[in-house]
Structure formats: C-alpha cells, structure tokens
C-alpha cells in the first residue's frame, strides 16, 4: 500500500494493469466529500487520471477507469476526452454511459 497525491507515490513505476475510480464529480475546486470531490475544478480529476495513466503502463498494459467529463457547447465530447490521451501508442475505448442535465446533476451531487 502506498499513499500520496494522485500518482506521485508510483512515479517512475510501470504496471501491467491500472484500474481507477477517482473522485470525479464535476464541480468546483474544493473537497467537501472525499469520496466524490477531487479538489480539481470541473472534470480536472478525470483529465488528470486519463492523461497520466499511459505513463504508468508497461508495454502491452491495460487501464480501466470510470470518469466523467463536462460537455461544452460547440465541442465534441469525443475530441475533448481524446485530447487527454497521447496522439500515438495508446488504443482507447471510451464509452459514454449517459448525459445528465446540468440542473439535475447539481441537484443530485452538489447540494
């Protein structure tokens, strides 16, 4: 067991498999509930985990994670999420399970 900030405790190490369920509730940059709030603004936790995971993988390694991201007007969510990944050397399968109405999302998670 290692403890620390995000990937800091395993910096420089490589793994065959990385699994993550980070605190990914989209919201302000504060921590009120540690199980859901990352301290990073909006979808910063999802971006951090998705963008850093490839550096942790051994050749042929796999990563599986649950994440959430913001939908912005005029921006395709696929391009947004794929921009968090390196342009080469990674195959990714990103599944959008659902899209929440912003008012409903706030009412559910940010009260």
- pLDDT tens per residue, range 74-86: 999 999 999 999 9
What does the alpha-carbon distance between residue 97 and residue 80 come to, in Å, rounded to a whole number?
A: 16
* Angstrom distances, CA of residue 37 to CA of 21, 23, 46, 104: 12, 5, 11, 18
Q: What is the dihedral sign for C-alpha 21, 61, 42, 12? A: positive
Residue 20 lies in a domain: yes
Instruction: Answer yes or no: is 63 within a domain.
Output: yes
Express each pLDDT in 53-71 by its tens digit: 999 999 999 999 988 888 8
- Note whether residue 46 is domain-resident: yes
Tell me if 23 is assigned to some domain.
yes
How many domains, the chain? 1
Query: What's the pTM value of the predicted model, to 2 decimals?
Result: 0.78
**Boundaries of domain holding 70:** 8-109
Asked if residue 24 is part of any domain, the answer here is: yes
Say if 1 falls within a structural domain. no
In this predicted model, which residue has the larger pLDDT, 13 or 111? 13
In a domain, 79, yes or no: yes
* Residue 3 is assigned to a structural domain of this protein: no
User: Do 61 and 15 meet the contact criterion of CB atoms below 8 Å apart?
Assistant: yes
In angstroms, the Cα distances linking 27 to 23, 32, 45, 92, 105 are 11, 11, 10, 25, 10
Predicted pLDDT of residue 30: 64
């Amino acid at each position: 067991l290692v403890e620390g900030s995000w990937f800091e405790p395993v910096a420089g190490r490589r793994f065959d498999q990385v699994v993550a369920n980070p605190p990914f509730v989209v919201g302000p940059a504060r921590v009120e509930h540690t199980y859901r709030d990352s301290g990073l603004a909006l979808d910063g936790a999802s971006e951090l985990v998705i963008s850093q995971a490839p550096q942790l993988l051994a050749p042929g390694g796999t990563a599986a994670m649950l994440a959430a991201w913001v939908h912005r007007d005029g921006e395709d969510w696929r391009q947004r999420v794929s921009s968090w990944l390196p342009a080469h050397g990674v195959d990714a399968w990103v599944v959008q399970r659902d899209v929440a109405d912003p008012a409903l999302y706030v009412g559910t998670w940010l009260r």
